[in-house]
Amino acid sequence: MDELKEANKDAIYEKLANLRVVEETIRCNDLIEAISTSVSRDKRLINTYKPNELCRRKVIVGNTLRNCRMFTLAGIHRYIQEGKIYSYENVCEYFGLEPADPLLDEMYACLNEQDLFITKKILKWLFGKRKQCKELGITVDHVTLLDWMANYVDEIPAEKYKLVSEIEYDD
């Protein structure tokens, strides 16, 4: 099995090494076609990228000069986080990015603008089903949530409990 993973990693690295780089930018279509599992979706996805993430350059493709969209480094980082990527961990490793933790992203989706947890969302995330708790109110701070969670340690998955308990806030 490890041989297959290494072969997969080598194939991805080879595809990425063969991409055309022009002045520290990579042609969007080439990168998307090399690593995407949903090419048409990802080509539409990048239509909303900002000028610091995408730029246009004149590039010779075949025998013609074309005005192509090119990813800047910021655009590559954003695309890797948002796109449907084949072999996500290997692509992150190639570009020197830290792979996103989906569990952490789900937890942060339960926070509001004041860094308080929305009670309905955090309970659904913790237990995997809807759960009501009048004592916590509509929103709950981190310390109160931890105190409340101590009563339900057996029902909450260990990795979620650990993740919530390890959050550090800048006061």
Reduce the DSSP state of residue 59 to 3 states and report it.
strand
- pTM confidence score: 0.66
**Amino acid letter, residue 39:** V
Boundaries of every domain in the chain:
2-99, 103-165
Please name every residue paired with 10 in a beta bridge, in sequence order, or none if there are none: none
pLDDT in tens, 107-148: 888 888 888 888 888 888 888 888 777 888 888 888 888 888
Q: Residues 6 or more apart from 5 whose CB is under 8 A from it?
A: none
Distance CA 41, CA 136 (A): 40
Neighbours of 22 (CB within 10 A): 13
Distance CA 136, CA 11 (A): 51
At residue 22, φ and ψ (nearest 5 deg) are: -125, 110
CB-based contacts of 29-34 (< 8 A; 24+ apart in sequence)? 29/68, 29/69, 31/71, 31/76, 31/79, 32/79, 32/83
| pLDDT of residue 84 exceeding 80 | yes
pLDDT in tens, 5-39: 888 888 888 988 888 888 889 999 999 999 999 99
Q: Which two tokens stand for residue 126?
A: 């913790």
Range scoring the smallest mean pLDDT among 93-97, 102-106, 155-159: 102-106
Q: Residues 6 or more apart from 121 whose CB is under 8 A from it?
A: 109, 110
Q: Which two tokens stand for residue 158?
A: 């260990």
Average pLDDT of the chain is: 86
